[in-house]
């Protein structure tokens, strides 16, 4: 699968830090359904979508959306990632925004806290009778549940998975690792041929470093939040996971430049065969492309030292707003859209992995062996930021999603500074202070 050109591979979940501050300014009393006409007055229903794929995505997405035949005409608008937080916050605050949209992966949960989201409960109930509800991959719908109802509907998946270069592993004389110890063994073999084994980036605009540190916590039965949705960073499993990464740093398995690498830098290291193993989104091979792209393969999930498996992933979503000309029409459009959106994947427009089993079963999708492996092996064991307390997303996860606190933590670990416990204690203190 390919990913949005020129954008970070995470699928743009980031709705945190300065973005949250901007969005919070948009908070005001919720409008009534149908009030103001901002969601598509004048006989139209506004659908705002992001440029999730390559150049082919936008026009094909607009074609699908605007072919909807209902009581209202759908008006499709592509919102660029640059300044998208300001675009949404000002539009929602002034009731001139969309009736339906995608956006940042935690966006729905922020707007829900402001009373701006129309819950998807009735829509999802209606899908139980036509089979669409059961077509979603495991756990996705549950991740959208908040106290008031379902804040959004899963749309595309941004996974964090392990990749390896088949040529370099063969040259190093090792098999793909299956657990933490064999990962260390393969890393030592790769080091001998001049390749790093923990390929990530933690520089400007690249968040794979923080994602993968969290993935290792989850892979060890840990994570950043407890069952009460409170930060709970300093646990034995998290400490063990971060000490493992620090061991890799100390042994020279982690590229020292990782702390400043952008996504482009990371892809360059893959292209130059400096990374023999690493972590990225599902579109890494397509983004690296050239001679090296076909050499890259998805590794099976590692098993942690206590027998756990797990990783971090981001279920990007589509949400409905209370400011709509007709809530029933918003729901009817989404039903149509999900029933007809398969070409966005089968025609290789570059969008992330699909949420529906029926799309993953198409011949076009099955032709991509890496994507199939991600769906079959990684999606079932992956968790959201909410782990280990649960997989439901909530407003609090914005505290660790691309924030300065998380960036500092990541650079501390990848820079080999101090201990895992000390770094986690600092992160915990910062999250509590900012709560």
Helix (H, G, I), strand (E, B) or coil at 277: strand
CATH of domain 18-158+314-383: 3.40.190.10
Residues 6+ positions from 359 with CB-CB distance below 8 Å: 342, 345, 346, 365
Same fold, 18-158+314-383 and 160-312+388-434: yes
As a whole number, mean pLDDT of residues 53-60 equals: 95
Question: Which residues face 362 on adjacent strands?
Answer: none
Phi-psi region of 199 (alpha: psi -120 to 50; beta: other; left: phi over 0): beta
**pLDDT value of residue 42:** 53
Tell me the residue ranges of DSSP E strands in 79-213.
100-101, 117-118, 145-146, 149-150, 153-159, 161-165
Residue 34 has pLDDT above 80, yes or no: no
Are the beta carbons of 200 and 209 closer than 8 angstroms? yes
pLDDT of residue 202: 94
Q: Please list, residue by residue across 376-392, b when 16 or more beta carbons sit within 10 angstroms of its beta carbon and e when fewer do.
A: ebbbeebbbbbbbbbbb
Mean pLDDT over residues 64-84, rounded?
A: 96
pLDDT of residue 69: 97
> pLDDT digits over 132-174, tens only?
999 999 999 999 999 999 999 999 999 999 999 999 999 999 9
DSSP-derived letter for residue 396 is G
416: left (phi over 0), alpha (psi -120 to 50) or beta: left
**Could you tell me the two tokens for 98?**
């969309």
CATH number of 160-312+388-434: 3.40.190.10
Q: Is the CB of residue 266 less than 8 Å from the CB of residue 200?
A: yes
Contact 255, 274 (CB under 8 A): yes
Query: In angstroms, how far apart are the furthest CA atoms of the chain?
Result: 67
The yes-or-no verdict on residue 365 having pLDDT over 90 is yes
pLDDT bracket for residue 121 (50, 70, 90): very high
Residue pair 69/88 in contact (Cβ under 8 Å)? The answer is no
Instruction: State yes or no: pLDDT of 37 exceeds 70.
Output: no
pLDDT higher than threshold 80 for residue 8? no
Q: For the stretch 324-347, what's the b/e string if a residue is b when 16 or more beta carbons lie within 10 angstroms of its beta carbon? A: bbbbebbbbbbbbbbeebbbbbee
pLDDT of residue 262: 94
User: Domain segments of the chain: what residues?
Assistant: 18-158+314-383, 160-312+388-434
Position 43 scores a pLDDT of 87
Q: Residue 212 and residue 160: Cα distance in Å, rounded?
A: 7
Angle at 397 between CA 204 and CA 394, to 5 degrees: 145
Give me the pLDDT at residue 50, please.
97
- Determine contact, residues 131/356, Cβ cutoff 8 Å: no
**Which 8-state DSSP code applies to residue 376?**
I
Q: What residues have CB less than 8 Å from 139, skipping those under 6 apart?
A: 380, 391
Name the band, by pLDDT with cuts 50, 70 and 90, for residue 24: very low
Q: Which pLDDT does position 428 carry in this prediction?
A: 98
Round to whole Å and give the CA distance between 278 and 198: 5
**Residue 325 pLDDT exceeds 80:** yes
Contact, 413 vs 420, CB < 8 A? yes
pLDDT over threshold 90, residue 318? yes
pLDDT digits (tens, 9 = 90+) for 340-354: 999 999 999 989 999
Q: How far apart are CA 277 and CA 212, in angstroms?
A: 13
Tokens for 105, please give them. 């992966």
Neighbours of 42 (CB within 10 A): 9
Q: What are 397's two structure tokens?
A: 């996860």
| Whole-number average pLDDT of the chain | 90
Q: Is 3 left (phi over 0), alpha (psi -120 to 50) or beta?
A: beta
List the beta strands (DSSP E) in 294-434: 296-298, 311-321, 382-383
């Amino acid at each position: 699968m390919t990913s949005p050109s020129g954008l970070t591979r995470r699928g743009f979940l980031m709705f945190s830090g300065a973005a949250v501050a901007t969005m919070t300014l948009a908070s005001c009393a919720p409008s009534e359904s149908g009030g103001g006409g901002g969601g598509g007055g004048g006989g139209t229903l506004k659908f705002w979508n992001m440029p999730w794929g390559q150049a082919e995505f936008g026009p094909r997405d607009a074609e699908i959306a605007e072919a909807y035949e209902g009581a209202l005409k759908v008006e499709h608008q592509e919102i660029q990632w640059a300044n998208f937080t300001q675009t949404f916050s000002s539009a929602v605050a002034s009731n001139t925004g969309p009736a339906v949209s995608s956006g940042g992966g935690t966006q729905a949960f922020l707007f829900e806290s402001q009373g701006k989201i129309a819950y998807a409960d009735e829509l999802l109930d209606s899908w139980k009778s036509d089979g669409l509800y059961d077509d979603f991959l495991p756990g996705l719908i549950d991740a959208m549940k908040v106290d008031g109802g379902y804040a959004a509907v899963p749309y595309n998946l941004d996974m964090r998975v392990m990749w390896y270069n088949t040529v370099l592993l063969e040259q190093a004389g090792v098999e793909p690792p299956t657990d933490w110890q064999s990962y260390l063994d393969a890393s030592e073999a790769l080091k001998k041929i001049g390749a790093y084994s923990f390929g990530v980036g933690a520089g400007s605009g690249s968040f794979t470093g923080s994602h993968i540190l969290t993935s290792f916590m989850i892979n060890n039965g840990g994570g950043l939040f407890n069952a009460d949705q409170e930060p709970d960073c300093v646990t034995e499993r998290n400490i063990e996971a971060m000490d493992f990464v620090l061991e890799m740093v100390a042994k020279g398995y982690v590229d020292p430049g990782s702390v400043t690498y952008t996504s482009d830098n990371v892809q360059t290291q893959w292209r130059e065969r400096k990374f023999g193993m690493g972590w990225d989104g599902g579109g890494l091979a397509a983004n690296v492309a050239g001679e090296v792209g076909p050499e890259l393969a998805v590794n099976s999930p590692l098993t942690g030292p206590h027998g756990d498996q797990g990783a971090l992933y981001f279920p990007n979503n589509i949400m409905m707003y209370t400011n709509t000309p007709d809530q029933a029409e918003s729901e009817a459009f989404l039903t149509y859209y999900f029933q007809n959106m398969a070409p966005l994947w089968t025609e290789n427009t570059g969008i992330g992995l699909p949420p529906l089993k029926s799309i993953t079963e198409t011949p076009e999708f099955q032709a991509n062996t890496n994507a199939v492996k991600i769906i079959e092996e990684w999606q079932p064991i992956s968790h959201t930021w909410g782990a280990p307390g649960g997989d439901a997303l909530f407003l609090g996860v914005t505290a660790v999603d691309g924030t300065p606190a998380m960036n500092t933590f990541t650079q501390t670990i990848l820079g080999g500074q101090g201990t895992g416990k000390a770094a986690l204690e600092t992160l915990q203190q910062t999250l509590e202070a900012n709560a």
